[in-house]
Each structure stands twice: as structure tokens, then as C-alpha cells.
């Protein structure tokens, strides 16, 4: 009995002394919030983008395995985000500057919100039942992640602007202006066939990789440190 | 001229081509295949192909590529930098996130062959170089050493700008092992390895991989030797081992010391028979004689018993031969061990051997005592002895009998003698308290002697009749035994009267004739160890006990005077000589004084000298025992 009471007392004491306090994270450092540092933000964003890219790669490889023995992707098609100018090598990316790089990231992310939702909707409505449960969940996940990542990067940009890291020359360019309106015609409204799914995923896979890479460059440019 | 030239040319052409046409088959080249394309830093990349059969002709290969969403075809800018059958794309020609459609064409004179097109995105074909500047050092953490491995990313890979992010992996093994131990280091460029074997030599290698790409090759091996640090680790163990061994030894010793008590505690001994003097070992050996002799207590039978009269009675063994049963019955009645003597003698032969009246009686008493314990064995033994001696004796007796024996009793070769001659034991005279014991002894002696005396039934004996006793002759001295028929009868009668259980075959006729005069009397000289009573004719001299048997010279012999009312055998010494050796006064009953009295009464005729001398002895004897007179001792008295 004495042992039990002693254990209970110890637990109660520990409970009281080591109370974990939760504090909301505010991007803008309002009063009462525990504002995360830029490094933390970058860390989270980069992790998220990396995860997003991984899921899209898996999804793409699944589709490719089941449906497309051919290696030639896209054929003559283009990704609907071809309008967004993205640096295609290191020098170009470094030459672009951090503000523009941030814009590009945000544009890309914005351009993919809708198509991914469509993809998910289309996959669930697929008559052929070609997709298993994992594919459905992955499609849903990446569509959500795009949204979250976009918001996160926006917050981070704001913080950077606040910190003076990022200049104010960058304006928030609406993604719709970059993306041609006909982009959506790339992917048929309504029913998307499996070919469309595959093309869509191929494009998204590449764009998520770009986003991740750009973010990493941005991070190492703004916060040179251990990981760079 | 022209014609000649043209012919020459044609001939040459023919000559040139015919061997080829005749010997080999030329064909267009085989289809080449693009084996792989790799980029070490995501800025340049190289493609290698495998040419097909050349078709016997020199073939050339060309690589053509087409960028994504462009129809323009480019040829490989550099075929040499990367080696044979390769195409190197430098920085200017390399675009990331652009799909390259690459084809290799092999061409020879006969034709060309196109390889299958391959789509390549540089992002996914990155295989970096192995990490560089790898160092391994030994560091200590609270006395325990560990390895710290550190490295640098490959020089070409630009991780500094964030263009490439690499993850690292290292592997460790001991020099003598075969299996590597893998460790994923992630993005960090240092790593610690713990739990080292002291004095071991370790090998360390590192490699890296971009986020989405291929693992690099393993770096060059680093060797490191861990110093010996067993002192702290093993000294404690050594101390513990010694201590525990020490305790173990102590426990073992304690157990060994107390093994018996522990054994008794755990396995209590089974109680065995607790007879005093009983020896299990002897019982196992099967020698019953020894067993029961061991059981004999010196005090047994109890001397304080008041039944010595009974004992006395039973001492009076005067025996008719033939009655083995008689002897047995007599022996039954006896309390003491002397019984056995009789029994044995009654079987087939009386215990025969040298009967020494002096010491034998005492010895015999002890022996018979022991033998008394045994029911059959002693008797059988005596029997055996008796049998042994009987034959020899028989011869002797026969010679004697024929030669000297006058008595018709001896005609059988048996000597009848006065069984009443029992020498009192010296110890008897010591203490009146010992009377009982002495009586016992005497009784035993008597028994023995009687056993000696009696002969088991023989055919010859039977012929004589129940009134005969037989004396056993000793080895030393074949005494001439003079049968005393009357006496024998008297004695026999006495014994018959007194011993109830004894079935007497002989008629108690002898009782009525106590006054029979036998021709000669014999006195018991001694009882030898074989329970044989040695008889010696009573001679004039008292000290002639041990001497050669003397012919009856008309000496004094103890003879039974009669049996009084008390069942007392009254002995009378016939005064034929001056010397007087008082006869043994046998008492069947246990009356102490009777013997004495009787003896004294009977010995009125004795010379005074002897009486005098004899008296004290007798008195002693009387004191010591009941009525037994040791003629031997008396006779040995100097005065006599």
C-alpha cells in the first residue's frame, strides 16, 4: 500500500511540475503567440514539400506501372504550368533572386490547387475502378498538402518581408495571371480519363520537385548554416 | 589506254571485293542500346551506350537527343570526355526538369541502326561522388571511448547553395569480421560510434545520396584501432568472480562439515534393532554362535534370582546314555546356558573331550553359559566334539574296559562315573554372595560335565540300560573310568526325580538303591573345553588329579550315600585311605547349607588332616556355592 501511495504521489508531483503548456504559433508574432523562427518555418516548409513530392512520385509510378508500358510521357502535351517561367539550372535559379524565386514558388503552388482537386474527384468517380484505396488517399493528401504548403510559404514570405530579408519589390502575383486560362482545358472539365490522370501526375511530380528545390535554394541563400 | 585503265580498275575492284564476298557476310550494324545516363552533380550528365554487332564493318555511333516539347534534334556535343561509347553533356547543354529524348545511331557502310529512345530527366539520374575528406577519431565519453567519423560532401556536388541536398550513410566493421554494420547519418556530416571492442581494429566507410537519386560509391576505407580499456571494465568482474568463488568455497566447506547432521536432518536414519550387544554384522555373516555369544551379558542369568535351587537341581545331571531326548529335556529346564551342553550331548554323543576338573569347570561354565543361549547349536557343537572324541575314547575305553574294568558296566566300553565330582571353582570360595553365581557356574559346569558324562545313546549303551552313565574321557588322560552302576542309578534317579520335564526312559529304579556299591568310583578331574569331563579315579593322594589315571587301589571315592528328603544327593566318601578328597557334594536343590552339611556329614570318616584342610576349602566352597566340592582343589591342598 505504501508503495502504491508513494507512486501516486510521485506521479501527481511530476504532473504538476512538468506541465506542458501549449502556445499557438502565430506567423506575425502577435502578442501571446509563440512565433516560430524563420529557420523553423523553412524547416517545416521544406519537409512538407519533400513529402508532397514523395507522394506524387509514388502515385505517378503506380499509374505508370499499371497503365503505361510506354516510357514516352506526355507525347506532345505540355504541363499547364508551362507559362510560369522557372529556372532550369542552378545558375539561372541563383540569378533569379530570392524574391522572384519566392514568387515562382507561390505561383506554382497556386496553379496546382484546383487541378489536384479535380484529379481526386476524377479518381474517385472512375468507372473502371483502376485505383486502389492507397491511390485515393494519396490523391487527397497531395491536394490538401498543396493548399497547406501554399499558405505556409505565404506566411514565410511575409515573415521574411517583416524581417527585411525579402524586399518589397515582390508583389503577390496572382497565379491566374501566370497560368493561362486555357490551362484548365488541358485537363478536361468533368471526366478525366486515365491518360489525363497520368499526364497530370507527371506534371505535378515535376513541379513539386521544383518547389522543393527552390525552397532549399531560398533557405540556403537566406539562412546559410549547417545544412547548406 | 582508257580501256585498259578502266579494266584495271574493275579488276582491282573485283579483287578487292571478292574476298569479302566470298569469305564474310557484311551486314548493317546491330542495334545499340543506351545503358545508362548519370549526373554527378545535377549540372552535367553523361550517357553510355552499348554498341551492337558491327556487321563486320567499321561502324560509327552517334547520339541524338531531343528536348521536351521541341522538335529540334541535337547531336551529342562531346563523345570523348566520358570515354568510349559515351556522350557528355556539359552545363550549357544540360537543362534540369526537362525531358531528354535520347537515341543512339550506329552506322556502317551498309546501313545504320537506331537504338530505342530513352527519356531522361536529369533530376532523377543524379549519382553523386563519394564523400570526401573522411576522418575517424577516437574520443572519450566518461571513460568509455567512441569513434567519431566526419566527412565532407563530394566536391562537385553543390550543397552549399542548396542546389543538392545529400543524405549520408556509413558502415563499420571489425577487421576480422565479414558483416558490416550500417548507420544512416541523414543530412549530418559527422557520426559517433559507441560500444567498441577494446583493442579492436575498425574499418569505416561513408556514402551519400541525393533526395531522389542513386547512392554513391563507398568512400575509401578508414582504419582505426581502439586502445585497450579493459582495466575498468574487467577489474570489477574479476573482483566479483573472486568474491563469489570465495563464498562458494566457504559454503561448500560448511556443507561438508555439517554433511552428517544435514543428512540426518534430511534423511533420518532408519531405526534398527536395539538389542544390547546385538551385532547386525555378525548376523549377516551367519555365525549364530557369535551373535548370541555377543548378546550374553555377564549378569545374565541374574544372580539375584532366588531360584538357584532350581538351578542346582538341574545341575545334577547324571545321565543315562541313549536319552538324547532326555538331555534335551533337561536342558530345556535349565535357565542357564549349561542346558545346551546336555542337549548337545544327548544327541548322539556326549560332549567328549578332555575334562579337566580344575579349570575346565570354570571355563566350561563360561562356555556353557554362552552355549546356553543357543538352543541347538551349542549342543550340536558339543555333539560334534563328543562324536569326535567318542571314537577315540571308545577305543580307549574299550581297552580299558577290557583290560581293567571290572564292572560290568564297562563292558560296553563306557565308563560310568560319578558325576557328582565337580570341582568347585576357586572363585566360589571368595564370596558368599557369589553363591548364586557360583552355583550357576557350577551348574553350568555340571551341565557341561554331565554332558560330558552322558553319552548319547548308542546301541551299546542301550544295552547297558538306563542306569549307566558315561564319562567322557579327556584327550590327555584316558582315565579309567570305573563305572558305578549303583551310584549312577542313584544319581540318575535323583535327577529324574528333580527334573520334571525330562522324560526318563530308565526306570527310576535306581532311586531305591542308593546304597549300591559300585565297584569303583571316579572323580571328575576337570571339564575340558570341549565340555568333556575328565575323570580320574580317586586315589590316595589328593594331588593326583592331573596324574595318570591310577588304577583303583581301593582308594576313597565319593559315592552317593543317599538322597535325602530334600532331594539332596548325599555323597559319601568312602574312607579307604588316609587321604581324603572330599567328594563333590551335589545338590539338586539349591540349599546352600545342605551341601555343606551333607558334605561334612558325609565326610566324617575323613582324616582330620584332610578335613582340616579340606574344611576351609569346603567351607569356602560351601559359602561360594551350593554343595559343590572341588575335589581337585581340595586334593591339591598341601595338607592333603
Minimal C-alpha gap between B11 and chain A (Å)? 52
Tell me: pLDDT of B117 over 70. yes
| Contact criterion met (CB < 8 Å) for A90 and B123 | no
In this structure, are residues B472 and B453 in contact, taking their beta carbons and an 8 Å threshold? yes
| Residue A20: per-residue pLDDT | 73
Question: Which of A163-172, B95-104, B269-278, B445-454 comes out lowest in average pLDDT?
Answer: B445-454
Tell me: pLDDT of B256 over 80. yes
Burial profile A32-70: b = 16 or more Cβ within 10 angstroms, e = fewer: eeebbebeebbebbbebbbbbbbbbbbbbebbbeeeeee
Rounded distance, CA B380 to CA A2, Å?
87
Tell me: pLDDT of B195 over 60. yes
CA distances to A102, A162, A221, B317 from A165, rounded to whole Å, are: 12, 7, 10, 148
| Residue A53: per-residue pLDDT | 94
From A53, A88, A228, residue closest to B162, measured CB to CB: A228
Helices and strands in chain B: count of H runs, count of E runs: 17, 19
Minimal C-alpha gap between B127 and chain A (Å)? 17
Stated pTM of the model: 0.52
Q: Which residue of B has its CA nearest to A86?
A: B97
Nearest Cα to Cα of residue A222 among A98, A57, A66: A98
In this structure, are residues A109 and A211 in contact, taking their beta carbons and an 8 Å threshold? yes
Which residues touch A178 (CB under 8 Å, ≥6 apart)? A83, A84, A107, A111
Provide, as residue numbers in chain B, all residues whose Cβ is less than 8 Å from the Cβ of A91.
Answer: 91
Tell me: pLDDT of B135 over 60. yes
| Contact criterion met (CB < 8 Å) for B158 and A88 | no
| Residue B25: per-residue pLDDT | 78
State the CB neighbour count (10 A cutoff) for residue B226. 17
| Contact criterion met (CB < 8 Å) for A94 and B161 | yes
| Contact criterion met (CB < 8 Å) for B212 and A57 | yes
**Average of per-residue pLDDT across B474-492:** 43
B93: Cα separation from own chain's centroid: 98
pLDDT tens column, B494-505:
444 444 444 444
From B68, B187, B211, residue closest to A227, measured CB to CB: B187
| Contact criterion met (CB < 8 Å) for B161 and A228 | yes
| Residue B27: per-residue pLDDT | 84
Confidence band for B477, pLDDT divided at 50, 70 and 90: very low
- Interface test mutation site (partner B, options A69, A78, A89, A225, max chain B beta carbons within 10 A): A89
Tell me: pLDDT of B544 over 50. no
Confidence band for B311, pLDDT divided at 50, 70 and 90: low
| Residue B322: per-residue pLDDT | 64
Minimal C-alpha gap between A74 and chain B (Å)? 9
Tell me: pLDDT of B62 over 80. yes
Q: Which residue of A has its CA nearest to B190?
A: A226
**Average of per-residue pLDDT across A51-65:** 88
| Contact criterion met (CB < 8 Å) for B162 and A73 | no
Tell me: pLDDT of B65 over 80. yes
Angle at B453 between CA B451 and CA B459, to 5 degrees: 95
Chain A, 180-219: which have a CB under 8 Å from a chain B CB? 206, 209-210, 212-213, 216-219
| Contact criterion met (CB < 8 Å) for A89 and B96 | yes
| Contact criterion met (CB < 8 Å) for A88 and B98 | yes
In this predicted model, which residue has the larger pLDDT, B161 or B396? Answer: B161
H-run or E-run covering A26: none
Tell me: pLDDT of B201 over 70. yes
Confidence band for B430, pLDDT divided at 50, 70 and 90: very low
Give the single-character DSSP code of B276. Answer: T
Q: Is the peptide bond before B301 cis (omega within 30 degrees of 0)?
A: yes
| Contact criterion met (CB < 8 Å) for A90 and B42 | yes
Rounded distance, CA B519 to CA B481, Å?
11
The total number of residues written for chain A in this structure: 228
Confidence band for A36, pLDDT divided at 50, 70 and 90: confident
pLDDT tens column, B339-377:
444 444 444 444 454 454 444 444 444 444 444 444 444
Most confidently modeled range among A181-195, B51-65, B228-242: B51-65
Alpha helices in B532-604 (DSSP H): 592-602
Confidence band for B264, pLDDT divided at 50, 70 and 90: confident
Minimal C-alpha gap between A59 and chain B (Å)? 15
| Contact criterion met (CB < 8 Å) for A72 and B97 | no
Provide, as residue numbers in chain B, all residues whose Cβ is less than 8 Å from the Cβ of A220.
Answer: 160-162
Rounded distance, CA A215 to CA A86, Å?
13
Burial degree of B178 (CB within 10 A; 0-12, 13-18, 19+): exposed
| Contact criterion met (CB < 8 Å) for A228 and B118 | no
Provide, as residue numbers in chain B, all residues whose Cβ is less than 8 Å from the Cβ of A89.
Answer: 43, 91, 94-96
Minimal C-alpha gap between A75 and chain B (Å)? 8
Minimal C-alpha gap between A158 and chain B (Å)? 22
φ, ψ of residue B78 in degrees (nearest 5)? -140, 115
| Residue A30: per-residue pLDDT | 62
Provide, as residue numbers in chain B, all residues whose Cβ is less than 8 Å from the Cβ of A73.
Answer: 99, 119
Minimal C-alpha gap between B116 and chain A (Å)? 11
Percentage with pLDDT > 90 across chain B: 25
| Contact criterion met (CB < 8 Å) for B94 and A89 | yes
Confidence band for B408, pLDDT divided at 50, 70 and 90: very low
In this predicted model, which residue has the larger pLDDT, B335 or A206? Answer: A206
- Interface test mutation site (partner A, options B162, B163, B166, B189, max chain A beta carbons within 10 A): B162
Provide, as residue numbers in chain A, all residues whose Cβ is less than 8 Å from the Cβ of B190.
Answer: none
Tell me: pLDDT of A56 over 80. yes
In this structure, are residues B316 and B587 in contact, taking their beta carbons and an 8 Å threshold? yes
| Residue B241: per-residue pLDDT | 94
pLDDT tens column, A60-117:
888 877 766 555 555 556 788 888 888 988 899 989 888 899 999 999 999 998 888 8
Tell me: pLDDT of B94 over 80. yes
| Contact criterion met (CB < 8 Å) for A90 and B163 | yes
Rounded distance, CA A142 to CA B300, Å?
118
Burial profile A167-199: b = 16 or more Cβ within 10 angstroms, e = fewer: eeebeeeebeebbeeebeebbeeeebebebbbb
Confidence band for B520, pLDDT divided at 50, 70 and 90: low
- Mean pLDDT, chain B, as a whole number? 65
Interchain CB contacts (distance < 8 Å): A and B: 64
Most confidently modeled range among A55-59, A183-187, B332-336, B383-387: A55-59
| Contact criterion met (CB < 8 Å) for B162 and A219 | yes
From A50, A73, A209, residue closest to B119, measured CB to CB: A73
Sign of CA dihedral B560, B561, B566, B568: negative
Strand locations in B212-253 (E): 222-225
- Interface test mutation site (partner A, options B44, B45, B96, max chain A beta carbons within 10 A): B96
Tell me: pLDDT of A7 over 50. yes
Rounded distance, CA B449 to CA B351, Å?
8
| Residue B279: per-residue pLDDT | 63
Tell me: pLDDT of B479 over 70. no
Tell me: pLDDT of B44 over 70. yes
Tell me: pLDDT of B582 over 50. no
**Average of per-residue pLDDT across A24-29:** 59
| Residue A167: per-residue pLDDT | 78
Q: Which residue of B has its CA nearest to A53?
A: B212
From B99, B161, B165, residue closest to A73, measured CB to CB: B99
- Interface test mutation site (partner B, options A43, A90, A93, max chain B beta carbons within 10 A): A90
Which residues touch A10 (CB under 8 Å, ≥6 apart)? none
Rounded distance, CA B78 to CA A100, Å?
34
Asked casually if ipTM beats, i.e. exceeds, 0.85, the reply is no
Burial degree of B419 (CB within 10 A; 0-12, 13-18, 19+): buried
| Contact criterion met (CB < 8 Å) for B161 and A220 | yes
Provide, as residue numbers in chain A, all residues whose Cβ is less than 8 Å from the Cβ of B97.
Answer: 86, 88, 206, 209-210
Nearest Cα to Cα of residue B420 among B564, B595, B639: B595
Confidence band for B40, pLDDT divided at 50, 70 and 90: very high
Confidence band for A133, pLDDT divided at 50, 70 and 90: confident
Amino acid at each position: 500500500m505504501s508503495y502504491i501511495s508513494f507512486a501516486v504521489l510521485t506521479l501527481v508531483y511530476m504532473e504538476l511540475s512538468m506541465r506542458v503548456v501549449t502556445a499557438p504559433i502565430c506567423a506575425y508574432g502577435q502578442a501571446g503567440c509563440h512565433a516560430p523562427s524563420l529557420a523553423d518555418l523553412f524547416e517545416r516548409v521544406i519537409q512538407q514539400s519533400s513529402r508532397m513530392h514523395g507522394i506524387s512520385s509514388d502515385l505517378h509510378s503506380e499509374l505508370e506501372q499499371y497503365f503505361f508500358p510506354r516510357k514516352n510521357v506526355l507525347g506532345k502535351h505540355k504541363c499547364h504550368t508551362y507559362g510560369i517561367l522557372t529556372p532550369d539550372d542552378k545558375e539561372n535559379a541563383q540569378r533569379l533572386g530570392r524574391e522572384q524565386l519566392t514568387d515562382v514558388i507561390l505561383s506554382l503552388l497556386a496553379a496546382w490547387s484546383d487541378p489536384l482537386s479535380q484529379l481526386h474527384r476524377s479518381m474517385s468517380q472512375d468507372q473502371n475502378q483502376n485505383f486502389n484505396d492507397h491511390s485515393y488517399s494519396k490523391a487527397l493528401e497531395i491536394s490538401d498538402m498543396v493548399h497547406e504548403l501554399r499558405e505556409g510559404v505565404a506566411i514565410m514570405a511575409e515573415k521574411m518581408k517583416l524581417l527585411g530579408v525579402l524586399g518589397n519589390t515582390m508583389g503577390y502575383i496572382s497565379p491566374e495571371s501566370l497560368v493561362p486560362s486555357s490551362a484548365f482545358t488541358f485537363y478536361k472539365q468533368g471526366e478525366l480519363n486515365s491518360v489525363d490522370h497520368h499526364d497530370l501526375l507527371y506534371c505535378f511530380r515535376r513541379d513539386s520537385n521544383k518547389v522543393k528545390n527552390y525552397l532549399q535554394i531560398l533557405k540556403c541563400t537566406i539562412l546559410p548554416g549547417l545544412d547548406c | 589506254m582508257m580501256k585498259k585503265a578502266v579494266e584495271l580498275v574493275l579488276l582491282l575492284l573485283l579483287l578487292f571485293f571478292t574476298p569479302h564476298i566470298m569469305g564474310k557476310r557484311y551486314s548493317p550494324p546491330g542495334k545499340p542500346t543506351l545503358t545508362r545516363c548519370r549526373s554527378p552533380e545535377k549540372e552535367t550528365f553523361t550517357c553510355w551506350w552499348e554498341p551492337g554487332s558491327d556487321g563486320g564493318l567499321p561502324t560509327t555511333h552517334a547520339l541524338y537527343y531531343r528536348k521536351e516539347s521541341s522538335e529540334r534534334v541535337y547531336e551529342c556535343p562531346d563523345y570523348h570526355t566520358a570515354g568510349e561509347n559515351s556522350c557528355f553533356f556539359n552545363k550549357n547543354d544540360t537543362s534540369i526538369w526537362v525531358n531528354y529524348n535520347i537515341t543512339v545511331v550506329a552506322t556502317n557502310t551498309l546501313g545504320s541502326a537506331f537504338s530505342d529512345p530513352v527519356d531522361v530527366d536529369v533530376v532523377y539520374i543524379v549519382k553523386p561522388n563519394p564523400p570526401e575528406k573522411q576522418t575517424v577519431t577516437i574520443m572519450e565519453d566518461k571513460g568509455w571511448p567512441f569513434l567519431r567519423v566526419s566527412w565532407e560532401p563530394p566536391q562537385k556536388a553543390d550543397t552549399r547553395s542548396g542546389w543538392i541536398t545529400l543524405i549520408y550513410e556509413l558502415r563499420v566493421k571489425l577487421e576480422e569480421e565479414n558483416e558490416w554494420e550500417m548507420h544512416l547519418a541523414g543530412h549530418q556530416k559527422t557520426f559517433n560510434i559507441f560500444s567498441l571492442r577494446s583493442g579492436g581494429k575498425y574499418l569505416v566507410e561513408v556514402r551519400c545520396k541525393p533526395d531522389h537519386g542513386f547512392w554513391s560509391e563507398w568512400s575509401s576505407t578508414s582504419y582505426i584501432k581502439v586502445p585497450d580499456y579493459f582495466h575498468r571494465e574487467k577489474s570489477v568482474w574479476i573482483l566479483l568472480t573472486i568474491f563469489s568463488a570465495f563464498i562458494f568455497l566457504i559454503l561448500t566447506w560448511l556443507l561438508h562439515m555439517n554433511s552428517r547432521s544435514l543428512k540426518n536432518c534430511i534423511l533420518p536414519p532408519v531405526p534398527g534393532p536395539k538389542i544390547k550387544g546385538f551385532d547386525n554384522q555378525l548376523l549377516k555373516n551367519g555365525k549364530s554362535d557369535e551373535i548370541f555369544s555377543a548378546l550374553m551379558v555377564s549378569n545374565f542369568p541374574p544372580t539375584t534370582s532366588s531360584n538357584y535351587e532350581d538351578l542346582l537341581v538341574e545341575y545334577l545331571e547324571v545321565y543315562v546314555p541313549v536319552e538324547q531326548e532326555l538331555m534335551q529335556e533337561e536342558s530345556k529346564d535349565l535357565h542357564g546356558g549349561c542346558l545346551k551342553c546336555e542337549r548337545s550331548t544327548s544327541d548322539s554323543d556326549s560332549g567328549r573331550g578332555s575334562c579337566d576338573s580344575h579349570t575346565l569347570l570354570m571355563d566350561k561354565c563360561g562356555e556353557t553359559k554362552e552355549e546356553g543361549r543357543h538352543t541347538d547349536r551349542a549342543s550340536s557343537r558339543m555333539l560334534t566334539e563328543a562324536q569326535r572324541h567318542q571314537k577315540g575314547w571308545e577305543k580307549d575305553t574299550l581297552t580299558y574296559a577290557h583290560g581293567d574294568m571290572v564292572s560290568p558296566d564297562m563292558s560296553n566300553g563306557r565308563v560310568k562315573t560319578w558325576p557328582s565330582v565337580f570341582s568347585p571353582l576357586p572363585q566360589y570360595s571368595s564370596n558368599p554372595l557369589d553363591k548364586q553365581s557360583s552355583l550357576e557356574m557350577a551348574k553350568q559346569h555340571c551341565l557341561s560335565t554331565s554332558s560330558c558324562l552322558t553319552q548319547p545313546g548308542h546301541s551299546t549303551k542301550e544295552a547297558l540300560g538306563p542306569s549307566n552313565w558315561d564319562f567322557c574321557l579327556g584327550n590327555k588322560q584316558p582315565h579309567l573310568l570305573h563305572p558305578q552302576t549303583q551310584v549312577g542309578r542313584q544319581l540318575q534317579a535323583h535327577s529324574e526325580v528333580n527334573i520334571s520335564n525330562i522324560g526318563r526312559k530308565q526306570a527310576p529304579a535306581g532311586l531305591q538303591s542308593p546304597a549300591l556299591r559300585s565297584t569303583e568310583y571316579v572323580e571328575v578331574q576337570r571339564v575340558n573345553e570341549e565340555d568333556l569331563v575328565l575323570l580320574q579315579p580317586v586315589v590316595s593322594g589328593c594331588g593326583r588329579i592331573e596324574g595318570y589315571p591310577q588304577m583303583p587301589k581301593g582308594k576313597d571315592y565319593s559315592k552317593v550315600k543317599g538322597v535325602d528328603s530334600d532331594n539332596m544327593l548325599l555323597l559319601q566318601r568312602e574312607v579307604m585311605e588316609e587321604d581324603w578328597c572330599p567328594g563333590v557334594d551335589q545338590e539338586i536343590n539349591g540349599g546352600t547349607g545342605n551341601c555343606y552339611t551333607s558334605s561334612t556329614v558325609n565326610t566324617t570318616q575323613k582324616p582330620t588332616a584332610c578335613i582340616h584342610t579340606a574344611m576351609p576349602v569346603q567351607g569356602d566352597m560351601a559359602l561360594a556355592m551350593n554343595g559343590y566340592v572341588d575335589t581337585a582343589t581340595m586334593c591339591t591342598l598341601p595338607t592333603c
